[in-house]
């Protein structure tokens, strides 16, 4: 057994490394720069925590949000690591004590924010201590090609110059090849050992549903998953507030989160969610990067995200413990209008073009009858080797593919016959034979396609409009968006090309199918799991830490599956190292024995 494997087992309680972890750790220990693209939940924190334990000195971890640092430090300390963080939440005395411990070599792992590297005094202080290596989390933030560029990350380009003897390890969960090259260049990494781990998260179950009554659709899902941690994303602050009020009025344990909420309230809401005091957080994308919560069992998007990178990162907050989790996306044509409005506000023509292409890729993900997992992986230049992922609505057969060519031709004909000067609402009125004042004044009740779709309701024709927009058969132009045929739309209208759409199954039928897909994972006693969750929460409250820091859901599930009968048995459970065994082993063992009557 190597020293790294021994530390892995004794300190962190794991019996084997995940893919790529061991080689990354070995490269850092050998003093080599590293660039690693690893999916959320792929175990990147271990890649810098383990070598920090082995090497003599202090490892510096750069993390983007201070809200994440305390949880990261609490988790590291709970394994026995000497970890601290430096940020604006500390008072003068606390900062002085940390600086003192730092200069005396008493800190193995120090978490800091990137903007601290703009402080010359801080740089000079670091030069007086033995730094083992730098680890940069969320490294994509340094790239202007990335989806979440942050100017404060640019100061990190000076690390290699100021600390030439210290290796730099950069980590990100989302980076295309262009972004990867840009990160390596900007951080001045020196011939780095490069890893592009698979972007596949096999425990995540992806599904897309057409948006109809979005608040009620979300409520139905949450009713069926009460007592379970989850995140619901909405695009605007207003939609977050309205959904929060609706769900609260209907008995859902939830809190809102967006940049317009006073910072102390926002911080409290996040802590309540972290500590399992509420089940659901309803948020804009301002929420997430500061979350290391491992037991999020679902992420719901109530609106179409603006790009796949952001969507991948946000869904990645589900199932970080490796246990099954749902990723549900609701979308409608109004989402595309809203996103295009924001894109059109961009001053740079180049930025508008890039954003439009990314939105098109995102809308294709939501509408194409191709495995969701395959589409996500293809975006990051990865090929999924299987023909059926067994964990998305397409592969599970909960999304029925239907031919909509005839209906599309009716819709497109109405667009052309009215001079491509009107929007969706008016076109649907013509197709369904509406007797409105506007239709009659314009003599649109006299055209050939008037009433041609009256055998279907307006909701169906909105579905057809959504499919045509998402599949780039029509575009919307102008301040009051009018429909225009694209080249593809013209080919559909003239019969040169067929088009299919996805008719979504009802949410209850889909939920059953998704639940069936989770049977691939081990069975466990759910009642015992409930008891152990209560004990975990009691201990977390006493220590003022999130419950997942005590033990992850995955560790509790394993306890409930194998029913350990001794401390030796507990040592074999994944996630229980020496320190955690001493602190919590007997407590959980006694609760299991009481439950089983032994």
pLDDT at 441: 87
Which residue from 404, 409, 444 is spatially nearest to 425, judged by alpha carbons? 444
**Are both 144 and 21 inside the same structural domain?**
yes
Range with lowest mean pLDDT among 317-321, 430-434, 490-494: 317-321
Q: What range does the domain containing 551 cover?
A: 526-596
- CATH code for the domain in which residue 432 is found: 1.10.10.10
In a domain? residue 323: yes
In a domain, 514, yes or no: no
Are both 38 and 96 inside the same structural domain?
yes
CA neighbor of 37 nearest in space, from 144, 177, 143, 171: 171
Tokens of 10: 């004794």
In a domain, 318, yes or no: yes
Q: What is the mean pLDDT of residues 491-500?
A: 92
In a domain, 389, yes or no: yes
Measure the CA–CA gap between 558 and 569, rounded to whole angstroms: 11
| Whole-number pLDDT of residue 290 | 54
Reported pTM: 0.70
189 and 56 together in one domain: yes
d(CA 38, CA 135): 14
The answer to whether the Cα torsion of 112, 114, 116, 120 is positive or negative is: positive
Total count of domains within the chain:
4
Q: Same domain, yes or no, for 174 and 208?
A: no
217 plus 170 within the same structural domain? no
Within this chain, do residues 172 and 33 fall inside the same structural domain, yes or no?
yes
Last residue of one domain, picked from the residues 352, 379, 397:
397
* The residue count for the chain: 598
Token pair of 360 as six digits: 């098109």
Which residue, 380, 397, 414, sits at the end of a domain?
397
Q: Are residues 135 and 239 in the same domain?
A: no
pLDDT, tens only, 4-54 = 988 888 888 888 898 899 999 999 999 999 999 987 777 888 999 999 999
User: pLDDT tier at 480 (50, 70, 90 boundaries)?
Assistant: low
555: domain CATH number is: 1.10.150.80
* pLDDT tens digit sequence for 51-68: 999 999 999 999 877 767
pLDDT per residue over 561-573, tens digit each? Answer: 888 888 988 988 9
Alpha carbons 410 and 52: distance in angstroms, whole number: 65
> What are 420's two structure tokens?
């491509």
Q: How many CB atoms lie within 10 A of CB 136?
A: 27
| Residue located via tokens 């059109």 | 344
Question: For the segment 334-366, what is each residue's pLDDT rounded down to a tens digit?
Answer: 788 788 878 888 888 888 888 888 888 898 888
Last residue within a domain, chosen from 397, 421, 440: 397
Kindly list the distances between the CA atom of residue 427 and the CA atoms of 180, 330, 424, 442, 450, in Å, as whole numbers in the listed order. 45, 24, 5, 12, 9
Does a structural domain hold residue 491? yes
Binned at pLDDT 50, 70 and 90, residue 514 comes out as: very low
Say if residue 307 is in the same domain as residue 225: yes
Whether residue 421 sits in one domain with residue 360: no
Higher pLDDT, 334 or 181: 181
Q: Is residue 74 within 8 Å of residue 24, measured between CB atoms?
A: no
Domain identity same for 250 and 346 = yes
Q: How far is it, in rounded angstroms, from Cα 244 to Cα 252? A: 9
Residue 518 lies in a domain: no
Please provide the average confidence, as pLDDT, over all residues in the chain: 86
Which residues share a beta bridge with 390?
A: none
Q: Let me know if residue 168 belongs to a domain.
A: yes
User: Which one is predicted more confidently, 515 or 530?
Assistant: 530
Torsion 219-225-228-232 (CA) sign:
negative
Q: 503 lies in a domain?
A: no
Least confident of 131-135, 332-336, 533-537: 332-336
Q: What is the DSSP letter of 392?
A: B
Task: Specify which residues 35 forms β-bridges with.
Answer: 170, 194
375 lies in the same domain as 424: no
User: In this structure, what token pair is assigned to residue 298?
Assistant: 């679902």
Residues pairing with 256 in the sheet: 282
Confidence of residue 504 (pLDDT cuts 50, 70, 90): low
Beta strand 131-136 pairing with 58-62: parallel
Mean pLDDT of 82-101: 87
Distance CA 443, CA 438 (A): 9
Q: Are residues 381 and 457 in the same domain?
A: no
- CATH number of the domain bearing residue 274: 3.40.50.300
β-bridge pairing 131-136 and 168-172: parallel
């Amino acid at each position: 057994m190597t020293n790294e494997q021994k530390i892995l087992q004794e300190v962190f309680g794991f019996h084997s490394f995940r893919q790529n972890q061991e080689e990354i750790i070995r490269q850092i220990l050998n003093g080599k720069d590293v660039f690693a693209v690893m999916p959320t939940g792929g175990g990147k924190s271990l890649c810098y925590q383990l070598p920090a334990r082995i090497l003599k000195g202090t490892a510096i971890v750069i993390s983007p949000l201070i809200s994440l640092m305390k949880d990261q430090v609490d988790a590291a300390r709970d394994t026995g690591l000497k970890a601290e963080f430096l940020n604006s939440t500390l008072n003068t005395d606390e900062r002085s004590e940390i600086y003192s411990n730092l200069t005396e070599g008493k800190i193995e792992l120090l978490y800091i924010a990137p903007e601290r590297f703009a402080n010359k005094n801080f740089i000079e202080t670091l030069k007086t201590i033995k730094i083992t290596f730098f680890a940069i989390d969320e490294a994509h933030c340094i790239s202007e090609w990335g989806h979440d560029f942050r100017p404060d990350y640019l100061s990190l380009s000076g690390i290699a110059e100021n600390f030439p003897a210290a290796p730099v390890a950069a980590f990100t969960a989302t980076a295309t090849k262009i972004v990867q090259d840009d990160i390596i260049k900007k951080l001045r990494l020196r011939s780095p050992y490069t890893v592009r781990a698979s972007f596949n998260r096999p425990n995540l179950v992806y599904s897309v549903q057409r948006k109809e009554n979005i608040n009620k659709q979300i409520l139905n899902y949450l009713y069926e998953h009460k007592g379970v941690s989850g995140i619901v994303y909405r695009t605007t602050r207003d939609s977050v507030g309205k959904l929060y009020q609706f769900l609260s009025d209907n008995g859902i344990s939830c809190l809102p989160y967006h940049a317009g909420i006073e910072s102390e309230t926002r911080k409290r809401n996040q802590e309540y969610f972290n500590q399992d005091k509420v089940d659901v957080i309803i948020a804009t994308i301002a929420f997430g990067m500061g979350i290391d919560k491992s037991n999020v069992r679902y992420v719901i998007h109530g609106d179409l995200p603006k790009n796949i990178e952001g969507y991948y990162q946000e869904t990645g907050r589900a199932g970080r413990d490796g246990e099954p989790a749902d990723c549900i996306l609701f979308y409608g044509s109004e989402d595309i209008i809203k996103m295009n409005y924001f894109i059109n506000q961009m001053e740079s023509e180049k930025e508008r073009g890039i954003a439009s292409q990314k939105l098109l890729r995102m809308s294709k993900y939501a509408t194409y009858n191709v495995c969701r997992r395959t589409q996500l992986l293809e975006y990051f230049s990865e090929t999924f080797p299987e023909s059926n992922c067994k964990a998305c609505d397409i592969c599970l057969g909960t999304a029925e593919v239907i031919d909509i060519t005839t209906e599309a031709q009716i819709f497109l004909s109405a667009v052309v016959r009215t001079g491509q000067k009107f929007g969706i609402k008016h076109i649907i009125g013509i197709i369904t034979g509406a007797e409105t004042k506007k239709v009659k004044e314009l003599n649109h009740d006299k055209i050939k396609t008037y009433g041609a779709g009256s055998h279907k309701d307006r909701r169906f024709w909105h579905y057809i409009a959504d499919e045509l927009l998402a599949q780039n058969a029509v575009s919307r132009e102008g301040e009051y968006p009018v429909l225009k045929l694209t080249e593809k739309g013209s080919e559909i209208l003239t019969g040169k090309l067929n088009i299919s759409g996805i008719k979504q199954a009802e949410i209850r039928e889909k939920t059953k199918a998704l639940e069936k897909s989770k049977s691939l994972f081990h069975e466990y006693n759910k009642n015992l799991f409930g008891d152990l969750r209560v004990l975990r929460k009691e201990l977390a409250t006493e220590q003022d830490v999130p419950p997942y820091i005590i033990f992850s859901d995955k560790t509790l599930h394993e306890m409930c599956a194998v029913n350990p009968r001794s401390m030796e048995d507990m040592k074999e459970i994944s996630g229980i190292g020496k320190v955690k065994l001493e602190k919590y082993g007997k407590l959980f063992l006694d609760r299991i024995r009481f439950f089983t009557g032994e």
